[in-house]
Amino acid sequence: MSAPNNSYDPVEVTPLHPDEVARMREEALSAIEAAGDLDELKEVRLAHASDRSPLALANREIGALPPTAKADAGKRVGGARRDVGQALKARQAVLEAERDERVLVEERVDVTLPWDRELRGARHPLTTVAERMTDVFVGMGFEVAEGPEVEAEWFNFDALNFEPDHPARTMQDTFFVESEDSGDSGMVLRTHTSPVQVRALLGRELPVYVVAPGKTFRTDELDATHTPVFHQLEGLVVDRGITLAHLRGAIDSFVGAVFGEGLRTRFRASYFPFTEPSAEVDMECFVCRGDSVGDPDASCRTCSSEGWIEIGGCGVVNPRVLTAAGVDPEVYSGWAFGLGIERTLMFAHGVRDMRDMVEGDIRFSSAFGSEI
């Protein structure tokens, strides 16, 4: 085994010569200083601080040196590499700060400038709620039926068992379009969607399972809970062997689908000339579930602490209506309901004032996130 080459002087190895190391260091430092942006600095880092940089290659030469020479050469090259590393770090910080400042200026948005974006519009939440309500019944197998908004008095009242002088006619304050004197039947803006019941029975094969969403009109004042133009969803089933129990099931499925599973419903006896028996449909308040009743510390704005919310009217179709529509009440029976769509929107989405729905402010529709 040969003796160690103690006479091997690092100064004789060109890359390790102090002048050469100093030159490589200076070259790297001036390249770093000259880098104008982060991309250029990346190039400089590759050229002067990567594994293939002159200083890294010089560092590799140290391994071949005799132990006595290693420390001196290592100190020289290591010091130069450390200076380059620190210079790179410092320049990186300066260039990043410059970039951040430039981005802030270049990408500044002047929020006070006039807005030229054209809104694409939004579907009115009443439309989306009406579709959702309709879809629940379509999912149960119902078809969608329609009727005119300007309706014959016969369909709106007579066929639905409102006698000409029946006080029930005044129950719904009517917009009259044409009086009876001018023809066979007067014309009205329909006061409810129930005339579609008769149209569906006259125009379709039995059995009939239909829902009819639509606009209705009454001479009501516009206030927080009423509007003269509002919407209802009518439902009608006429088939053999139909009972009130089917109606309870359909209403429960509707409430579960729109307001949440597990909410109770109840029928309160009421009166409509076209159904017998008749009922108002209430559902359990989906916010307090009745907990606010009688508790002054837990007042519920949704149900006014009553625990129940009225959503519409319903009942077993009066045999007189079936007869008026040419259906044999001895063979067929059925039920019907009419739900208020505005009221459903109010309850389902916490709308406090019905006037917000009709004033046409696009912010109301946009708040529901229903941009087309």
- Interface ranges with ligand FA5 (CB under 6 A): 192, 194, 218, 220, 226-227, 230, 232, 234, 272, 275, 278, 310, 312-315, 336-338, 340, 342-343
Smallest distance, Å, CB 236 to ligand FA5? 8
Rounded Cα distance, 350 and 358, in Å: 16
Q: Are 204 and 215 in contact (CB under 8 A)?
A: no
CB nearer ligand FA5, residue 17 or residue 215: 215
Residue showing the smallest CB distance to ligand FA5 in the complex: 340
CB nearer ligand FA5, residue 272 or residue 332: 272
CB nearer ligand FA5, residue 31 or residue 346: 346
Smallest distance, Å, CB 109 to ligand FA5? 43
CB nearer ligand FA5, residue 21 or residue 314: 314
Q: Are strands 333-340 and 275-284 parallel, antiparallel or unpaired?
A: unpaired
Smallest distance, Å, CB 203 to ligand FA5? 18
55: Cβ contacts below 8 Å, ≥ 6 apart? 21, 24, 25, 28, 48, 49, 77, 80, 81, 84
Smallest distance, Å, CB 134 to ligand FA5? 15
CB nearer ligand FA5, residue 209 or residue 230: 230
Determine if residue 27 is labeled as part of a ligand binding site. Answer: no
Long-range contacts of 240-248 (CB under 8 A, 24+ apart): 240/207, 240/331, 240/332, 240/333, 241/333, 242/332, 242/333, 242/334, 242/335, 243/333, 244/277, 244/316, 244/335, 246/335, 247/314, 247/316, 247/335, 247/337
* Placement of tokens 């509007």 in the chain: 227
Smallest distance, Å, CB 313 to ligand FA5? 3
CB nearer ligand FA5, residue 15 or residue 315: 315
CB nearer ligand FA5, residue 199 or residue 343: 343
Task: Quote the DSSP letter at residue 338.
Answer: E
- Here the tokens at position 360 are 């046409």
Task: Quote the DSSP letter at residue 193.
Answer: S
Smallest distance, Å, CB 272 to ligand FA5? 4
Cα dist. 251→255, 257, 314, 319, 338 in Å?
6, 10, 10, 22, 11
Smallest distance, Å, CB 180 to ligand FA5? 21
Ramachandran category for residue 363: left, alpha or beta (phi over 0 → left; psi -120 to 50 → alpha):
alpha
* HSE, side-chain direction, 13 A CA sphere, residue 317: 34
- Going by the annotation, the residues of the binding site are 276
- Going by the annotation, the residues of the binding site for Mg(2+) are 276
